Amino acid sequence: MSTAWTRIARMLGITIPTSIAVMAMASGAAWAQTTYLLEGSDTLTQVIQQAIIQSGATSLIYNNVGSGQAEKNMATLSGADVLQGIGPMSRNFVPSVLTMAKFDPDGKWQDSSIQPTATNVLCLDAPVVSVGNIKGHCTDISAPLVKPADPTMAAPMSDLSIILSGYPASGTMSKATTAECSDSRRLAALNRLTACQGVSRIDHIYRRDDKSGTQDTWREHLQFNLWCNGKSEGNVNAPGSNLKNEDLDPIRRPCIGADATKAQTACTYYPLKTQCAAGAPDITDPTYGTIKCSQGLIVALSETDPGAVDITESIGKRVGLDLNGFTIGLAGLASVELPGKPSVGTTINTVTFSDANIRAQQYMLARRLFLQRNPAGTGDPGRDAAESTLYTWATNRCNIFPLCEAAGFLPPLPDCTTSGCLDTGNMTCLQAAPGVGTPKQNIGAIGEACNSSYPCVGTGAACSSGNCEDPYSVAKMASSFACNVSAAGVGDQTSAECTSGTCTIDSTLVAGVCK
């Protein structure tokens, strides 16, 4: 059976030299045997950290890398190597996990039904479109519904969906290819959001990375699969170098650098794949000429900014600190509950994220925050005992409600003493629908091997061998994109920056928006 020390090492991707391992056994054996890494939702960071302290399960150390990682650790089909038996998550398990079969520690197959109930719901949350609290800011986002009676599901190809994932070349689901993310109808949708914000441009829209259940919530309710910035794996194993997130968005903006309020994010010499940092000098390319270090419109955050407790707060602060209103965030309620209200959330279809609307699922993005559980545990007595202590304490509503409120969330029920769920209109009491996991995507820019099941960014085509075509090598897309002139007669489908011929970007990176 793995020790806590080797489990932590494996989860962090660390190779431990023998000398260090021996030294740890000699001088810190007690720590090595009694400390366990618990991974899960960044959204629930404050709640779980306080719950660990107050429950006395202090042998657990919380690593807020995302719901997807928690799910992966609980659903590993490898017997005693299941890495954790509980996991804080901001979405439900995906369908394959809900009915999974796994080996128990004795090597026998057993079915683990891990569909959460009201007991697993710690708090309620509602991701919001976060904007700066400035005069004239955008107050409402319109997203037409699939069914008028169901306020939780937007019809495909709403403006916000097109801005985040591109305009689909065919069908109703974009593959976030270079062409789809530079389609003039995406630019038109961005123009409408810019007009709503009352500003001259929008520079960046910040989101959580692909491990986060928060970004899954946006994809689920707005009905899109992939993001225009590409794959964002985060940087669990390399704090301080948030460069695992792709920067493929063809809408280019000035690169935002790290400073006293911001962690590092990825920038590139687009259309080349070469990474760079804010302030890097221009380069000269034989094909594309002078290229500035720039950053895409959509930017994924994987590291907490200085002065913030988690990435949700980081996004709220980035939005609030931009007094020009050029920055928008996609994050949880806590992003708009900061002291002084530097950022605020818009309504969606005029529906507010009030307590009543969240509990009744009238606000589109209302969601539950879970402490999920694999009843089979891990087979490690020390870990299982610590996790059981935390789980028992945290699922006592009178313990957890104050922590939810302190973190800016909504307690799932009006009071903590009500026995069971008596309100069938409260989302807490309803069976949770399976979660939406992040689809895989081939990213040619990093030379990822093809898989016929996953689309390539450059063209959207699947390939079964070799590598995806590098999207940056598609010469016809590197310097300009054809305007969608055929849509000119359909109202406002053509961007103001591009009414005929081609649209290009100028040397300032902001007067034009496509390259």
Q: What is the DSSP string of 413-435?
A: SS-S---S---TTSGGGSPPPPP
Per-residue pLDDT 10s for the chain (515 aa) are 333 333 333 333 333 332 223 233 333 333 444 899 999 998 899 999 999 999 999 999 999 888 988 998 888 644 446 789 999 999 999 887 887 766 555 555 556 678 888 999 999 999 999 999 999 999 999 999 999 999 999 998 999 999 999 998 777 788 888 878 888 788 889 989 999 999 988 999 999 998 888 999 999 999 998 899 988 887 655 555 556 788 888 888 888 989 999 998 888 888 777 888 888 999 988 877 788 888 999 999 988 999 998 899 999 999 999 999 999 999 999 999 999 999 999 999 999 999 999 999 999 999 999 999 988 888 899 999 999 999 999 999 999 999 999 988 999 988 888 766 777 789 999 988 888 877 666 554 445 566 666 667 766 666 667 766 654 444 333 333 444 433 333 333 344 444 555 555 444 444 444 43
Question: Rounded CA gap, 487 and 385, in Å?
Answer: 62
From the list 443, 444, 440, the residue with the least C-alpha distance to 453 is 440
Residue 254: per-residue pLDDT: 87
β-sheet with 343-345: strand ranges across:
298-301, 204-208, 327-331, 128-132, 343-345
Question: Rounded CA gap, 89 and 38, in Å?
Answer: 12
Give the CA dihedral 255, 325, 303, 409, nearest 10 degrees.
-170
- The owner of tokens 């529906």 is 351
> Would you say 21 and 244 are in contact if contact means Cβ atoms under 8 Å apart?
no
- The owner of tokens 């990822």 is 448
Question: Rounded CA gap, 120 and 372, in Å?
Answer: 6
Cα torsion angle, 481, 486, 492, 496, sign: positive
Question: Rounded CA gap, 28 and 274, in Å?
Answer: 43
> Would you say 72 and 100 are in contact if contact means Cβ atoms under 8 Å apart?
no
Cβ neighbourhood burial of 432 (10 Å; 0-12, 13-18, 19+): buried
Residue 486: per-residue pLDDT: 38
Question: Rounded CA gap, 235 and 243, in Å?
Answer: 7
- Residues paired with residue 497 on neighbouring β-strands, in sequence order: none
Buried b (16+ CB within 10 A) or exposed e, 210-240: bbbbbbbbbbbbbbbebbbbbbbbbbbeeee
Question: Rounded CA gap, 465 and 245, in Å?
Answer: 24
From the list 163, 162, 165, the residue with the least C-alpha distance to 457 is 165
Residue 495: per-residue pLDDT: 46
- The owner of tokens 């002084």 is 340
Domains of the chain, residue spans: 35-120+371-429, 127-359
> Would you say 388 and 395 are in contact if contact means Cβ atoms under 8 Å apart?
no
Q: Which two tokens mark 177?
A: 């290819």
Q: Which two tokens mark 428?
A: 């807490």
Residue 213: per-residue pLDDT: 87
Phi–psi pair at 221, nearest 5 degrees: -80, -25
Question: Rounded CA gap, 169 and 177, in Å?
Answer: 9
The set of residues, in sequence order, having a beta carbon less than 8 Å from that of 30 and lying 6+ positions away, is none
User: Would you state the CATH architecture of domain 35-120+371-429?
Assistant: 3-Layer(aba) Sandwich (3.40)
Q: Which two tokens mark 201?
A: 């441009």
Residue 419: per-residue pLDDT: 62
Cα torsion angle, 411, 414, 416, 419, sign: negative
Question: Rounded CA gap, 180 and 459, in Å?
Answer: 9
Which letter does DSSP use for residue 336 in this model? G
Helix/strand/coil for 144: coil
Residue 409: per-residue pLDDT: 92
3-state helix, strand, coil in the chain (%, to 5): 30, 15, 55
- Residues paired with residue 102 on neighbouring β-strands, in sequence order: 110
Residue 368: per-residue pLDDT: 96
